[in-house]
A and B are shown apart, each in its own frame.
Chain A
Amino acid sequence: GAGVSQTPSNKVTEKGKYVELRCDPISGHTALYWYRQSLGQGPEFLIYFQGTGAADDSGLPNDRFFAVRPEGSVSTLKIQRTERGDSAVYLCASSTIGGSYEQYFGPGTRLTVT
């Protein structure tokens, strides 16, 4: 079956611009997570959705970062006034409640801020 998909796969933007990153979870998965992975590091948690609501947004680094999941499926991570330090791979994962609680990761979006 289809796994987690993310678009775009690569995004290059100029400092100060606004970007949106999209995540399509596995069909039927109610939980959706965003992580950020810098070069040579492990992924770091950003935000977690249970259905449409953000259950935990404690990992968002500042108020330039925002994420939505209006219909409980697709999610969009939005970054305003991008900075060079935002350059990283943004990973999305989804899981199903009541199962093994495994999180299945998408291929990621590589964001480069110039």
Chain B
Amino acid sequence: ELKVEQNPLFLSMQEGKNYTIYCNYSTTSDRLYWYRQDPGKSLESLFVLLSNGAVKQEGRLMASLDTKARLSTLHITAAVHDLSATYFCAGTMNRDDKIIFGKGTRLHILP
């Protein structure tokens, strides 16, 4: 069964700094997701990565996928306070299948 591990689980950083969240998964995953969740809110889809070497960027966030290493990263460039949230990495083994989530990385950006 697919297992998804994120690290770090908690990250406090200063505005303007760069940082990376890492996501390792245990077995072949058909697709890799990144979601954002604000406190008390539902999940917002950020990226869906489908193939090895895929890189997607939206604003200050960039996600990449290395299927050989079973690793995805979410890179934050020049962080701003508004990016404070919990970020989840997740994967599926097959199309249409359930999503298996990591425990989440709680990101706190200090102004």
Contacts and interface: CB of A to CB of B under 8 A. Distances in A.
A91 B48 contact: no
Contacts of B103: 41-42
B88 interface: yes
Given A42-B88, A100-B48, A91 B42 contact: yes
B42 A106 contact: yes
A45 B99 contact: yes
Contacts of B98: 33, 45, 48, 56, 59
Given A101-B31, A102-B45, A108-B42, A95 B96 contact: yes
In this complex, the interface size class of chain B, counting residues with CB under 8 Å from chain A, is: 20 to 34
A97 B43 contact: no
In this complex, the interface size class of chain A, counting residues with CB under 8 Å from chain B, is: 20 to 34
Nearest to A59: B98
A72 interface: no
Interface string A35-58: 100000111110010100001100
Q: Which of A91, A100, A101, A102 has the most CB of B within 10 A?
A: A101
Q: Is the interface of B mostly helix, strand, loop or mixed?
A: strand
Nearest to B95: A101
Contacts of B31: 101
Contacts of A106: 42
A103 B104 CA distance: 17
A59 B101 CA distance: 13
A105 B43 contact: yes
B42 A107 contact: yes
Interface of B: 31, 33, 35, 41-45, 48, 88, 90, 92, 95-104
Given A35-B99, A48-B98, A102-B48, 11 more contacts: A42-B102, A42-B103, A43-B99, A45-B99, A50-B96, A93-B99, A100-B48, A101-B31, A102-B45, A103-B99, A105-B42
